[in-house]
Amino acid sequence: MKPTPPELPGMPLLGNLLEFGRDRHALLTRGLHQLGPVFTIKFGTRPVVVMIGPDYQQMFFTETDKTLSIDKPYENLKAAIGNVLFLASKETYKEQRPVVYAPFKHEKMARYVGIMQREVTAWLDGLGTSGEMEVTAEMNQLVQRVAGSALMGDDFQKGIGQEFWTLYTAIGKALDMTTPPHWPLPKNIRRDRAKARMRELLKPLIAERRAHPEKYNDFLQDFINTRTTSGQLADDLTIIDLLRAFMFASHETTAGQAAWTIIEILRHPDYRARVEAEIGENVAPGAALDGPTLRKLQHIAWAVREVERLHPSADMLMRVAEADIEVGDFVIPTGWPIIVSAAVAHRLPDLFKDPEQFDPLRYAPGRSEDAVHRFAMIGFGGGGHKCAGMNFANNEMITITTLLFQRFKLELLDPNPGRNFGLGAVRPTPTRVKYTV
């Protein structure tokens, strides 16, 4: 019988839980350096296996829905969002899959880029000609507006949008990995009340959309119109859960990465010069952005890719072993959770030259460091559950960066932000940027 992976020492009863809560990246990096690419940490008394490296990540993603369960580790998130996407069983996810992917068809993306440009331009107009902004908070609000308009339309934003986002915040605050989601804690009670109120707000909106489908063209209408694998239309509860899930995915992760993209470009003047020259060559002020134009902005796309590497949207992913699994010299017992960490794996020097450095040119032709292994970069997941909205998110970040750097001269006033471990991407701590026309 092979042994279980070696255990990283922790505190009595608590294990590694406190250090994980303070800085999970530092904890997992320490485990990698002390014990190797496969090791065990403890959440209290519960063992959790960590696997670092592209070969282990390949096994992690290709065995999902086989020997590894994706829905079991996320009970707290499922209680907040609902029985959809990877939070559902593999049978339910397969049934929902046509509905999930309907909004991301290629022909729909041009319209969403138009919405992104409109909302970003309105935000820039509201800033005036000069001032200071706290970029993390600004990205949070801007991405909310883009998500609301693209997912549920302008009428939603003008009508119930503000109350929706207030309810969304209450739901998000209930998320953690330390307490069961069914405990009658105040945060869980507020979560369930917020979900009930959300259903009250959205059901009349869905009823109107079902009655007049020809009047609307957004994510919500695609969810309503598209039939599942078995040919049925999704019911109201599934649609509401999908909306909540996509609001979470499109907001929590993109807001953090958009802020990091701006900060990292400003921290690196030589690369900033490349970005500004590229914008000047390809985007006339006031011109409509479209797919061909975005594809010309290669330096910005590489910067967004490098932010995915250094500040990944899904910095940690979990599964649960459905059977005893042999991994190298070790065995992972049935029922043990398994973690992969993009934030640690993306800094492996065997894959990425000078991995702590912001170097978007590592994706340029002739280097293409992310192509060394199919699972070297896992910021948007991998395999059959890879993020459906990856292109939407990348287009949004390219649009924000392009229009912001085109409009203003920018100065980073807080050049060394810390990391705030939030619900989605690890966001920068409050960071001030000065802007002038």
Please tell me the pTM assigned to this model. 0.93
Query: So what's the pLDDT on residue 52?
Result: 98
Question: What is the residue type of 343?
Answer: A
Residue with tokens 């899959």, as numbered in its chain: 97
Share of the chain above pLDDT 70, in %: 99
Report yes or no: 426 and 343 within 8 Å, Cβ to Cβ.
yes
Average pLDDT over the chain, rounded to an integer = 93
- Name the token pair of 125: 């107009």
Q: What is the mean pLDDT of residues 358-372?
A: 96
Contacts of 215 (CB under 8 A, 6+ apart): none
The rounded Cα 124 to chain-centroid distance in angstroms is 24
Which pLDDT score is estimated for 328? 92
The pLDDT of residue 308 is: 96
**How confident is the model over 348-358, as pLDDT tens digits?**
999 999 999 99
In whole angstroms, give the CA distance from residue 329 to residue 319. Answer: 20
Is 70 exceeded by the pLDDT of residue 339? yes
Among residues of the chain, what percentage have pLDDT more than 90?
A: 79
Question: Across residues 359-371, what is the average pLDDT?
Answer: 96
* pLDDT of 423 strictly over 70: no
Cα gap 41→331, rounded to integer Å: 15
Domains of the chain, residue spans: 1-81+316-378
How many Cβ atoms are within 10 Å of 73's Cβ, its own excluded? 20
d(CA 113, CA 231): 30
pLDDT tens readout for residues 254-273: 999 999 999 999 999 999 99
SS3 388: coil
Distance, in Å, from the CA atom of 254 to the CA atom of 247, rounded to the nearest integer, reads 10
pLDDT (tens digit per residue) in 178-219: 788 999 999 999 999 999 999 999 999 999 999 999 999 999
pLDDT tops 60 at residue 398: yes
Q: What is the pLDDT of residue 174?
A: 86
CA distances from 200 to 83, 181, 196, 371 (A): 18, 22, 6, 47
The pLDDT of residue 178? 72
| 417 phi, psi to nearest 5 deg | -65, 150
Q: Does 1-81+316-378 carry CATH code 1.10.630.10?
A: yes
Q: Residue 422 above 70 pLDDT?
A: no
pLDDT for res 421: 77
Instruction: Provide the pLDDT confidence category of residue 425 given band limits of 50, 70 and 90.
Output: low
DSSP class per residue in 234-293: PPHHHHHHHHHHHHHIIIIIHHHHHHHHHHHHHH-HHHHHHHHHHHHHH--TTPPP-HHH
Residue 7 CA from chain centroid, whole number: 29
Pairing of the two strands 330-332 and 317-321: unpaired
pLDDT range class, residue 424, cuts 50, 70, 90: low
Burial of 21 (0-12, 13-18, 19+ CB in 10 A): middle
Cα distance between residue 13 and residue 46, in whole Å: 10
> In this structure, how many other beta carbons lie within 10 angstroms of the beta carbon of residue 331?
17
Predicted pLDDT of residue 297: 98
Distance CA 30, CA 24 (A): 10
Q: What is the reported pLDDT for 126?
A: 97
H-helix or E-strand spanning residue 336? none
Length of the chain: 437
Q: Mind listing the pLDDT tens digit for each residue in 102-157?
A: 999 888 888 899 999 999 999 999 999 999 999 999 999 999 999 989 888 888 87
Position 394 scores a pLDDT of: 95
pLDDT in tens, 33-89: 999 999 999 999 999 999 999 999 999 999 999 999 998 888 888 999 999 988 998
From the list 74, 100, 75, 107, the residue with the least C-alpha distance to 85 is: 100
Strand-pair partners of 132: 434
